[in-house]
Chains A and B, each alone.
Chain A
Amino acid sequence: MKATLELINQMQADGVIGKYAIGGAVGATFYLEPSATADVDIFVTLPTAPRSALLSLGPIYDYLTARGCRVEGERIVVGEWPVPFLPPRGALEQEALDEAVQTDVEGVPTWVLGAEHLVAIALQTGRAKDYARIVQFLEQHAVDAGKLNRILMRHGLVSRWEKFERKYLEE
């Protein structure tokens, strides 16, 4: 992981990407017990090309393949980890990225999405494994309920949360 993050940090320093933060299962591991995963989700801000509103992952792929990384489907293998680079798909993910928490991995600085944002994104994504992760966060008291509630209200996720509660927490 150290090598992966060092290369991503270098890419950031070289201006290919803006702010980034780890999400998904690896991001959740910052708060919970370790769990198996095949890749590292990296939420990333991309600089837009001049006179264009379109975002492209092309510069990331060009930068990394020039440094020996190989493309594997929609991911690129950086160090030993396949990495999907995920530009924020909406206001929730943008806010999560803006408010990411700084930490380090073996001395390499990095950012991780906040626990409450990870839970809200998991709720929005809505696969079985996302719901299982939310349950883990709740069981381990790893979220601030007030903060989570404010995020859910801001992003119109309250009714979805109520459905989730009825299905997974009240049985």
Chain B
Amino acid sequence: MGKDEDRERRKRLASLPFSEKLKIVEKLRDRSRVIAASGLRTLVRRQDEHRRQDEHPIDDVRSKP
């Protein structure tokens, strides 16, 4: 999506009535809750940590007590 298209989409969403916008906010909240409950975020965080350890093994050893 180009910058102009994105700007137009955001403008259109911003012009919706408040009640309509809150329904979208609720959908976004529910989706976040599902993702949180699935453990996906924890998995991604762990993968990030493993990647960092692979990339900076010395930092990791030094950081251990």
Residues of A at the B interface (CB closer than 8 Å) are 1, 25-26, 29-38, 80, 103-106, 112, 139-140, 142
| Count of chain A to chain B residue pairs whose CB atoms are closer than 8 Å in the complex | 53
| CB-based contact B22/A26 at 8 Å | yes
> How many chain B residues have a CB neighbour from A under 8 Å?
17
List 29 interface pairs A-B (beta carbons < 8 Å), by A numbering.
A1-B25, A1-B26, A25-B25, A26-B25, A29-B18, A29-B22, A30-B21, A33-B10, A33-B11, A33-B13, A33-B14, A34-B13, A34-B22, A34-B25, A36-B29, A36-B32, A37-B25, A37-B29, A38-B29, A80-B26, A104-B18, A104-B19, A105-B19, A105-B22, A106-B19, A112-B18, A139-B7, A140-B11, A140-B14
Known: A37-B28, A140-B11. 12 other contacts (CB 8 A): A25-B25, A29-B18, A32-B14, A34-B13, A34-B21, A35-B28, A36-B25, A36-B28, A36-B29, A106-B19, A140-B10, A140-B14
Query: Main SS of the interface on chain A?
Result: loop
Best-buried of B10, B11, B13, B29 by chain A (most CB within 10 Å): B29
Residue on A with the closest CB to B30?
Answer: A80
Residues of B at the A interface (CB closer than 8 Å) are 7, 9-11, 13-14, 18-19, 21-22, 24-26, 28-29, 31-32
